Amino acid sequence: MSVLEDISIEMSIVLGSAQIPIRQILKMSRGAMIPLDCGHDDPTLVYVNNKLVAKGRVLVNEEQMSLEVTEMVKRGRG
């Protein structure tokens, strides 16, 4: 067993974001759509421990989703 296997990190994959009032969220039902502040060609952002580390694009194959990393972000950016 590697010593690295015991290290925990927080990873977030961000497709986009939205600002909507809580009253609108409370009115939503199953299947409701929330518009995001990005287009389908915009990169998906990968954060590790709240730091931007990579950009990529979401791939969908039948019922499976994955992320293809297209760019590693240099330190000091993001």
73: nearest Cα among 35, 47, 42, 39? 47
Pairing mode, strands 51-61 and 44-48: antiparallel
User: Which numeric CATH code is attached to 3-72?
Assistant: 2.30.330.10
Q: How crowded is the C-beta side of 2, counted as CA atoms within 13 Å?
A: 3
Decide: helix, strand or coil at residue 23.
Answer: helix
pLDDT of residue 1: 66
Beta bridge partners of 72: 54
pLDDT of residue 68: 95
Mean pLDDT for 8-24 is: 94
For residue 75, pLDDT beyond 90: no
Mean pLDDT for 42-59 is: 95
